[in-house]
Structure 1
Amino acid sequence: MKGYTGVRGWLLALLVLAAPLVVGQDSARDYAVQLPLSLSGEGPWYRLELPMAVHMAARYADLRDLRVFNGAGEVQAYALTLGSARQHETQQDTAVKWFPLRGPLNAEQSPAVRVQRSSGGTLVEVLADDASHADQQVLRGWLLDASAIEAPLQQLTLDWRAEHEGFQRFSIEASDDLQHWRAWGDGQIARLSFADERIDQREVKLPDQSARYLRLLWSSPRQAPQLLSARLLSARRDRLAAPLSWSAALSPSSAEVGEYRWELPLALPLQRLRVELAEANSLAPVSVTGRREGKVQWQPLARGLLYRLPQDGQEVLHNELELHGAPVQQLRLQVDERGGGLGSAAPTIRVAIRATQLVFLARGKPPYVLAIGKATGAAASLPLSTLIPGYDDKRLAALGVATAAEAPLREAADAGQVAGWDWKRLGLWAVLLAGVGLLVLMAWSLLRAKPAAP
């Protein structure tokens, strides 16, 4: 039994020593492409907009074969996030003209007005509707001219002069023609002082809607203040499309009259296609189809009219088509030759996908390297909220920036990466299994051996 115990010990030792070799540790040398990274800004987190060349070099469209290494060859924790459409808000604070609204003190209706406009359409004067009883009229409120502001109104800021301090309430109405008014709620301003302290409440929230004119009617007309200034805060919102990452110019893999084909390294979710129109005065009705590797059927992707034509002394160019994220590896462009075609030379194209941002936690010493292209890649990215505790969009924008070198450090895959097989790992498994088999034979021989006679 002593021999059996010794064999078992050797077997366990061999397994422990060989396990790290079999499982292996990621090394930058195992990846087909390595891009040195330069860092700027405040760490330890850095963000990098992945260039299209990285997607083209990947073995998988979801980038599971992507890693970041430090100078010691250690893998860095990272997250991937897709660019998305967003809204951009631009605020503008505008001083506006104001005009007094007068009317009988006890009138139940709002004061009617007659207006005089300039040639540009803005108000220059507001007159009482019944000027014959001007001596019986009091200040009921104010009319604000917002006709020069096109964006929705968010806030009203007033400055005033009044005989008495305190709170003053008023109703807010909006109109686009000075005839039809809609209620925008109530507002309140206040000015209070005590000892050497003073409190001013000057801002009033508005319902974030557009209007050409505002009418402010005081609840207590006798206390209506004299305005010194009126400002309106407006906000314009523009919807920004999701950012795209564009490829370099791609030449067709085959070209025939009226039909051109391209093949990508892998199937990618394409968003847009740009056809380079080399010749002026080009007009081409086209259709685009695509398919994935191994598929026979071509799927329709887009149809449209491409042109490069003169108009009003300038050149008008339309050379892009929407593909809406269709995952394709092969593209086919068919041109209706009745429009004159695309010229004698075969056209080149550029394709775009939604931009992907890489965020990684820099640990250890530089230089840092982005590696891509491993046949046996396995997903290792973390959720962004896990990588950055307390993550939000504002914090992401404040991270340091990483920039990838344009020229790759190495572009040749290891010989063991051919045809998707990791020969290095298979070799290690073979050595381990051979060793285990040898130990099993030795153990079997020892167990069968008869003990020597005393």
Structure 2
Amino acid sequence: MMPRSPPLIRLSLITSAVLSVLLSAAPLAHAQVQTEDLPDDFTHHTPLTLSGEGPWYRLELPLALQLNARQSNLNDVRVFNADGQAQPYALTFSQPAREEDQTPVAVKWFALYNSDDAKDAEPKIRVERTTTGTLVEVLPQGEIEAGEEILRGWLLDTSAIHGPLDRLVLDWSTEREGFQRFSIEASDDLQHWRRWGEGQVARLSFADELVEQRVVTLPGRNARYLRLLWTTPQTAPTLTSAQLISTRPGVMPLSWSPSINGSVEKPGVYVWQLPVALPLERMKVAIAQPNSLAPATLYGRRDNTAPWQLIDSGLLYRLTQNGQDVVQDEMELPGNVVQQLKLEVDDRGGGLGNDAPTLSFAVRATQLVFLARGAPPYSLAIGNATIKGANLPLSTLVPGGTPEKLAALGSAKLSVTPVSVPTVAAPLAAGPDWKRIGLWGVLVLGVIFLGWMAIGTLRTSRLK
């Protein structure tokens, strides 16, 4: 008969066995918590139709589809292949397009002189300006004797251009040929100057051919004055023309929602509940009755517990003039994330009626780019309140993504048109994860069993 093991040894063996079970169960429980994305984890699925050359495809996300999201930052959007594998993807949000005015604007220019013994120094000037800042006269500060002045550079008055300065177009007298280099500085008060880099123009002639470089690229910022200081003052040309090309922010591409219904909080006060909190850029109120005039104040908040925040105030109207309707029914929003909107209307203008008007809202247009791998068909999934975001930076998803390469990406479209969702949608409560609960239950029971075994073993050892 084999000798019995001492109690402490038996306790150690039991403890080791139970700990082995617990340690093997813990990774499984953790794996359940950190499980990979599965199609069944999402509430909405939409098939995709692909066209063009892959393997990357670009998809415009309609706002009607985004309203099915459960997270305002779209962390809960995925693309799956036929085998249920999640695809790598990136989200890109539209930026305001810059509208360029191709017509150069001529500006005034003034010579900047230095004395011969200070030809490389910064010119000291005294100026005469109008009340709007327009330059009338620019003279050297201090006396410079005739014949000793050195043309150091030129001062350009750009105060009439209200927009970013992108390109400078110069022309100069024909006696100066070759390359001309100069520094570019900008100022708004003629006292403090910001360096904008360097520029170069050129004019070369050979036989009957003339080669010119007259355009200089600027950094695309605003400035009231530019100062051009030639690297070699002795070769500074005499300008005959100075023109600037400016750009201005264009209209931001927006994605509009279907109309949603609202409720009347009290006469003249209307409230709308969005299906999900979103960063809104604009809103539009449907004004049905002609000759309506409504001074209005707009408020917004993230949820029912947050205080209302003032967003904007303005005048909404629908007026008939010369047989045509003149309508102002939109208000701008700052892009803050809100889920409730409230409009207070001054009833002295007649109001917007006893019933709440329908409302539509807009967010910045959003694109999803994904890398197709595995078997088609592919589908878009959205709607999960707890899942973490998995989107990559676009530069990581598409290595070496030049503008030309990105423009040539294949396209993906929704195979079915997304439908609007109910106006009022409470956030979905995440159901109990029975697998996770069961596994953690096993761990807890294992700890209890371990403790019971330890106590029993100790009692037995004391009795002996």
How high is the TM-score relative to the length of structure 1? 0.63
Tell me the residue number matched to 2:38.
Answer: 27
Q: Deviations for 1:101-142, whole angstroms, at most 9, x for unmatched residues?
A: xxxxxxxxxxxxxxxxxxxxxxxxxxxxxxxxxxxxxxxxxx
Q: What is the CA–CA distance in structure 1 between the aligned matches of 2:261 and 2:343, rounded to whole Å? A: 12
Q: Letter of the aligned partner of 1:252 in structure 2?
A: G
Tell me the residue number matched to 1:240.
Answer: 250
Map residues 264-413 of structure 1 onto 2, 5 A cutoff: 264-295=274-305, 297-343=307-353, 345-407=355-417
Q: Letter of the aligned partner of 1:245 in structure 2?
A: S
Decide whether aligned partners of structure 1 residues 329 and 52 sit closer, same or farther in structure 2, where only a CA change above 3 A counts.
Answer: same
Tell me the residue number matched to 1:205.
Answer: 214
Task: Indicate which of 195, 205, 220 corresponds to 1:190.
Answer: 205
Q: Does 1:50 align with 2:61?
A: yes
How far residue 301 of structure 1 moved from its aligned partner, in angstroms, is 0.9
The CA RMSD over aligned residues, in Å, is 4.1
Decide whether aligned partners of structure 1 residues 422 and 205 sit closer, same or farther in structure 2, where only a CA change above 3 A counts.
Answer: farther
Q: 8 Å contact 2:168–2:245 — kept in the other structure?
A: yes
Q: Deviations for 1:398-430, whole angstroms, at most 9, x for unmatched residues?
A: 222222244469x99xxxx96234424543434
Tell me the residue number matched to 1:138.
Answer: none
1:427 partner SS: helix
Q: 8 Å contact 1:262–1:332 — kept in the other structure?
A: yes
Q: Deviations for 1:357-380, whole angstroms, at most 9, x for unmatched residues?
A: 222111112221221221221121
Q: 8 Å contact 1:70–1:76 — kept in the other structure?
A: yes
Q: What is the CA–CA distance in structure 1 between the aligned matches of 2:456 and 2:405, rounded to whole Å? A: 66
Q: Does 1:68 align with 2:83?
A: no
Q: Deviations for 1:298-329, whole angstroms, at most 9, x for unmatched residues?
A: 21111111112233443222111111113222
Identity of aligned pairs, percent? 41
How far residue 446 of structure 1 moved from its aligned partner, in angstroms, is 10
Tell me the residue number matched to 2:267.
Answer: 257
Q: Deviations for 1:1-47, whole angstroms, at most 9, x for unmatched residues?
A: 79656666555555565654453221111111122222222211122
Q: What is the CA–CA distance in structure 1 between the aligned matches of 2:19 and 2:336, rounded to whole Å? A: 57
Q: 8 Å contact 2:58–2:369 — kept in the other structure?
A: yes
Structure 1 gaps of 5+ residues are: 94-150, 158-166, 172-183, 194-199, 210-232
Q: Does 1:420 align with 2:425?
A: no
Tell me the residue number matched to 1:79.
Answer: 90
Aligned residues: 340
Q: Letter of the aligned partner of 1:325 in structure 2?
A: G
Decide whether aligned partners of structure 1 residues 66 and 444 sit closer, same or farther in structure 2, where only a CA change above 3 A counts.
Answer: farther
2:333 partner SS: strand
How far residue 350 of structure 1 moved from its aligned partner, in angstroms, is 0.6
How high is the TM-score relative to the length of structure 2? 0.61
Q: What is the CA–CA distance in structure 1 between the aligned matches of 2:350 and 2:456, rounded to whole Å? A: 86
Tell me the residue number matched to 1:176.
Answer: none
Q: Letter of the aligned partner of 1:240 in structure 2?
A: G
Q: Letter of the aligned partner of 1:39 in structure 2?
A: L
How far residue 288 of structure 1 moved from its aligned partner, in angstroms, is 0.8
Q: 8 Å contact 2:166–2:217 — kept in the other structure?
A: yes
Decide whether aligned partners of structure 1 residues 402 and 447 sit closer, same or farther in structure 2, where only a CA change above 3 A counts.
Answer: farther
Q: Letter of the aligned partner of 1:379 in structure 2?
A: G
2:78 partner SS: strand
Decide whether aligned partners of structure 1 residues 92 and 364 sit closer, same or farther in structure 2, where only a CA change above 3 A counts.
Answer: farther
Tell me the residue number matched to 2:3.
Answer: none
Tell me the residue number matched to 2:221.
Answer: none
Structure 2 gaps of 5+ residues are: 1-8, 105-164, 180-198, 219-242
Decide whether aligned partners of structure 1 residues 186 and 399 sit closer, same or farther in structure 2, where only a CA change above 3 A counts.
Answer: closer
